[in-house]
Amino acid sequence: MASPDRTPRSWTEVLDALEADALFAVSDPDPDPERGDGAPDPGHRSAGDWRPDPELGALPDELHERAAEVLALQREMLELLIEERRSVRRHLEAVRTVPDVAASGAVYLDVQG
């Protein structure tokens, strides 16, 4: 069993990671213009499909407020991502309305005859 002083620190680390993931989800995917590949920061490690470690025990009372704040942040970031997806969908729909350019005749005009 984890010692009482270990559990809050571990839960604090878990909440820190979940908060970082929420913020990373809406961060600039290419913060380093030198890298220029649009890839996420290679140093970021996502919590992925998170499940609480049974070794952590119950969330300590003193961290309930922090956990609620992280949950609220996750919900806020989710709303931002949903709106971004809607915006991208609208842009793609607009791009799809532009007709394809097809060669339909001479490319050069003979002005000399």
* In a domain? residue 107: no
Please report whether residue 18 resides in a domain: yes
- Specify if 108 maps to a domain: no
> Which helix or strand (DSSP H or E) is residue 94 part of?
helix 64-96
Residue 105 in domain: no
Report the number of distinct structural domains present in the chain: 1
Per-residue pLDDT at 8: 47
Least trusted range by pLDDT, from 8-17, 53-62, 68-77: 8-17
* pLDDT recorded at residue 63: 94
Look at residues 56, 72, 60 and name the one whose alpha carbon lies nearest to residue 19. Answer: 72
Assigned domain for 71 exists: yes
| The predicted structure's pLDDT at residue 73 | 94
* Average pLDDT taken over every residue of the chain: 78
Domain with 79, as residue range(s), is 6-96
Find tokens 């890839």 and name the residue. Answer: 39
Residue 110 lies in a domain: no
Residue 74 pLDDT exceeds 60:
yes
Residue 27 backbone zone (phi > 0: left; psi -120 to 50: alpha; other: beta): beta
78, part of any domain: yes
CA torsion through residues 45, 46, 48, 50, sign = positive
Task: Report the distance separating Cα 84 and Cα 79, nearest Å.
Answer: 9
- pLDDT given at position 94: 94
